[in-house]
Amino acid sequence: MEITAFLSRKLARRFRTYDSDGDGFIEREDFTQAGERTTKAFGLADDDPKAVRFQHSLIGLWDRLSSAADLDCNGRISVDEYKKAFTNRLLETQESFDEGYGPFLDALMAIADEDGDGKVTLEDHVAWTGALMNISERNSRSIHDMLSDEDGLLATQAMLDVIREYYFSEDPASSGNWLLGPLD
């Protein structure tokens, strides 16, 4: 996969959402802390089956990412290592993306979709994007408004489509490119 200037900006933005403590590196602890913040935002105890599934899913993402990106095996990933992982086929095809990201999204939606209808409300979207990725409430609200259906809800499949679009679309006007708010 070629890293275009536009994709490089998107990857840098995504990297910052992973880097919970802002130290310039992604570490396993960033993932576990993000998971804890997210489950607590929805009032789940650490041993709740949904919380356990979500934490396992997050650690699975970390393991997949670190095996592709942590080239010096020091337990942390720099933004350059993160970007390089994409040139090394971390997201080879949209189908492999769906296979890798789908289970994580299902685990997340099991938490965020509190009524189990397959869709998240504005409030739930604000809660999980803030807790998991440190996205401001203002940006979360704008993102949700842009991506939601006419009833103001965001379906799981629509979310997967938008996330996939974020990584694979080179069209700046594409709604998926607003997944994390404005690119800096």
3.40.390.30, 1.10.238.10, 1.10.3720.10, 1.10.760.10: CATH of 5-178:
1.10.238.10
**What is the residue extent of each domain of the chain?**
5-178
pLDDT attached to residue 90: 63
pLDDT attached to residue 91: 62
Q: pLDDT under 70 in the chain at which residues?
A: 1, 89-93
Secondary structure of residue 120 in the 3-state scheme: strand
Model confidence, pTM: 0.89
pLDDT attached to residue 151: 92
Render the burial of 55-94: b for 16+ CB within 10 Å, e for the rest.
bebbeebbeebbebbbeeeeebbbbebbbbbbeeebbeee
pLDDT digits (tens, 9 = 90+) for 39-81: 999 999 999 999 999 999 999 989 988 988 998 999 999 999 9
